Amino acid sequence: QISLKHGSHRSGKRTDATMQRWREYGLGQFIHWGIYSIPGGGWDGKTYGGAAEWIRSWSGKDAPNDWRKTYDNLYKQFNPVDFNANKWAEQAKNMGAKYVIFTTKHHDGFCMWPSKYTEYTIANTPYKKDIVKEVVDAYNKVGIDVYLYFSVMDWSHQGWRYDIKSPEDSIAFESFKKFTRNQLLELLTSYPSAKGLWFDGTWDKSWVKQAEFADELETEMRTLRPGLIIGSRFRADDFGKRHVDSNGVMMGDYEQGWERNLPNSIEDVHGHDWDCVMTIPDNQWGYNSHWKGYVKTPYNLIEMLVKSVSLSGNFVINFGPDGKGNIRQEETSIAKEIGDWMKTNNEAIYGCSHADMKKQDWGYFTQKGRKLYLTVFNRPINNCLNVEISEKGVKPTKAYFLANKLPVAIQDAGKNKQNNNLYNIVIPAKYISDKPFVIVLELEESQ
């Protein structure tokens, strides 16, 4: 046990109602929207090879002349005339999202709210209005909780440093720390209904060295807003360890490291709450007019969602509106397909978590109380869904399609070498589905 002043201040999951509500979300929406959405991954007929929201960092022979200066003046043309927060919120609601994570400020430092600590904000654009407030109000109105994404790394601020290597760096970074604290308290005060902060851009050596400051700031934010939810990405411990402190205890309220990546087993989750944030194309969060590479289908994303919930996590799908405030057609149709599937099957998602059942090839188990939800992605040729129950004295008593409650047969398939009870849930051969489907299996303690 290493003695830490600024490690994790709690081990085990939070047990309060606010965190329980977070745990039951299942599906979330991420929105990356800012002035990087204007170039949309290219400029002057040239395309940038990286993630569109990082285009400010474009440099070298391929970058347009004076690109940095051009970029830093883009806010003067930011006028998303097509933006309609209520339309976005309605679409998210229909998709089945229970929370949204919205970029208040990405790494470029441009603020989508009228911060009084910098001129580099929405207030100084042709649009002028407070976009964060519009999003918070619209999503809350349809019952979707809002989490505010905030990038600590801020390329626009004079005091920001990647590392602190001189007394000048130190003085500059002190001003940056003050600015960061001011903006975070400003966000919490201006948008009191926001349930949490989703931090990013916290990997710089300069920030990783701020264990005491970040720990005190986290405490100050939690005191200002009791119940506030902050993930593992915000701060580092006394020795610069992030996400998990030097004693192996998670920092923050949930594991925030699953970015474009999913755990493969319940062991990978280490008993933590967690969410996975996922892009629809390979690695584009902000709007990119030319999606390159593989674009995930609705059923890729539904499988990731069900897998996440089967491992007691939430799954967050990213949307990147364009510079005018439009959500692109590909994302709109994906949201519709996922929403149609969720309308029939959300009982297998909301409030569900990992079932202590042996993973089977046909798909995933999720559980709520004594109900098991079997979501089938790979229908066996013999139509038999293998189920193995290791818990002694527990047996399945009822099985039926979630969609229409039509019963399906449960076959006793004896015991395996480990003396676990085996069952086949038999899908009627005539039942045809071109979409993943859910069978509910009710369990009972056998006398």
Ligand X SMILES: C#C[C@@H]1N[C@@H](C)[C@@H](O)[C@H]1O
Binders of ligand X: how many residues, by CB under 6 A?
8
With CB under 6 A as the contact rule, the residue among 38, 41, 53, 135 that binds ligand X is 53
CB of 323 to ligand X, least distance (A): 17
Residues 332-371 that bind ligand X (CB under 6 A): none
Q: Of 32 and 195, which has the nearer Cβ to ligand X?
A: 32
Give the tokens for residue 275: 């969410």
Alpha-helix residue ranges (DSSP H) falling in 159-210: 167-190, 205-208
Closest of 122, 124, 245, 109 to residue 183, by C-alpha = 109
Q: Does 51 bind ligand X (CB under 6 A)?
A: yes
Residue among 316 and 389 whose Cβ is closer to ligand X? 316
Residue nearer to ligand X on the CB measure, 153 or 439: 153
Q: How far does CA 31 lie from the centroid of its chain? A: 10
Does residue 200 belong to the site contacting ligand X (CB under 6 A)? yes
Residue placing its CB nearer to ligand X in the complex, 256 or 366: 256
Region near ligand X per CB under 6 A, out of 50-58, 155-163, 188-196, 330-338: 50-58
Q: Is residue 259 close enough to count as binding ligand X by CB under 6 A?
A: yes
Binding-site member from 277, 301, 376, 389 for ligand X (CB under 6 A): 277
Token pair recorded at residue 266: 């319940």
**For residue 73, how many other CB atoms are within 10 A of its CB?**
11
- Shortest gap between Cβ of 316 and ligand X (angstroms)? 9
Quick check: 150 binds ligand X (CB under 6 A)?
A: no
For residues 280-319, which are near ligand X according to CB under 6 A?
285
The answer to whether the CB of 100 falls within 8 A of the CB of 31 is yes
Report if residue 197 touches ligand X, rule: CB under 6 A.
no
For 86-92, the CB contacts below 8 A with 24+ separation are: 86/138, 86/141, 88/31, 88/135, 88/138, 88/139, 88/321, 88/327, 89/135, 89/138, 89/139, 89/141, 89/142, 89/144, 90/142, 91/327, 91/332, 91/335, 92/29, 92/139, 92/142, 92/144, 92/335
Report yes or no: 392 and 337 within 8 Å, Cβ to Cβ.
no
User: Least distance in Å: CB of 222 to ligand X?
Assistant: 22
Residues forming the site for ligand X (CB under 6 A): 32, 51, 53-54, 200, 259, 277, 285
